Amino acid sequence: MAKAKRMLQENIKLVDAVAEIVDARAPEASRNPDFDALFSQKERIILLNKADLADENATRRFLDYYRRRGLLAAPMVSTGAAGKKQAVALMERAVSDKVKRLQEKGIKKTVRVMVVGIPNVGKSTFINRIAGENRTKTGDTPGVTRSKQWVKVGPYLELMDSPGLLWPKLEDQQKAQSLAFLGTVNDDILDGEELASALLQRLMTLCPEALMQRYKKLTLETAIEDLLPAVAQSRGFLLSGGELDTERAARIVLDEFRGGKIARVTLDQVPEEQA
């Protein structure tokens, strides 16, 4: 992470604006809390990516929240058709003042945006989506490392071809758990059955109907320790001895949740604002 941080700090110098990609299913947990401080000198954009998997109302509430806090914010589906225009428009808006100032001085210069975010939020997918067919090298620029490439996304706008990696903050238990549910943090170190069981508990409060629809043996009366066994039962997952295969049930629950098959769910809540 030290190297990633150093690279990021080098790259910040090269851009005028920063677009932070977060996971719309957990915008706060997937934000880097240092973001505002790190990029205080830059125009800042926040894109709630994977909006196709998140609860639409929650996404709207989060967009309002970030906008109130002075960020340019938009939903994004990097794997889909929607969102590209709005994202480009937002990036153009972020740099429009600077472009205008330069033009007033008679300077014709492109302004630059860097994409940043924690692992797995869709940074590469986003860049590919935005770059699309424009993804031809815009040429080397003096003073810029040769490996760094820029993609033209508007008449005055270029996007850095490689994303900046931010590190997730895992001190907050609840946020760390949300990232584990989403598969953002390496879950080899986590106990799959414990994680899936905790996820089922969260989903029982967030979207009980959808959950019971998907796993028919679950009911509102199912005790916490019986959630995972009930999933195994719903799917007929049995071990050779006839015991319920809760390990397999855990994998299925996590996979189906991450794939958006259970429901469109947002795990985070908009933080309380001080009046």
Structure tokens at 214: 């998907």
Tell me the window of 108-116, 118-126, 220-228, 249-257 that interacts with Mg ion (CB under 5 A). Answer: 118-126
Measured from the CB atom, is 115 or 195 closer to ligand GDP?
Answer: 115
**Minimal distance, residue 47 CB to ligand GDP, in Å:** 10
Round to whole Å and give the CA distance between 183 and 119. 10
Question: Cα–chain-centroid distance for residue 21?
Answer: 5
Name every residue whose Cβ is closer than 8 Å to that of residue 214 and which is 6 or more positions away in sequence: 256, 261, 262
Q: Is 111 helix (H, G, I), strand (E, B) or coil?
A: strand
CB nearer to ligand GDP: pick between 23 and 28: 23
CA torsion angle 171 172 177 178 (round to 10): -120
Please say which residue, 53 or 72, places its beta carbon nearer to ligand GDP. Answer: 53
- Residue 52 binds to ligand GDP (criterion: CB under 6 A): yes
Closer to ligand GDP at the Cβ: 99 or 114? 114
Q: Per-residue contact track with ligand GDP, 103 to 142, x per CB under 6 A?
A: --------------x-xxxxxxx-----------------
Shortest spacing between CB 14 and ligand GDP, in angstroms: 19
Neighbour count for residue 66 (Cβ, 10 Å) = 22
Tell me which residue has tokens 């815009």.
138
Applying CB under 6 A, among 15, 17, 29, 53 the residue interacting with ligand GDP is 53
215: phi then psi, degrees, rounded to nearest 5: -120, 95
Q: Does 162 bind Mg ion (CB under 5 A)?
A: no
Contact 131, 35 (CB under 8 A): no
**Which residues bind to ligand GDP, rule: CB under 6 A?**
49-50, 52-53, 77-79, 117, 119-125, 163
**Which residues bind to Mg ion, rule: CB under 5 A?**
124
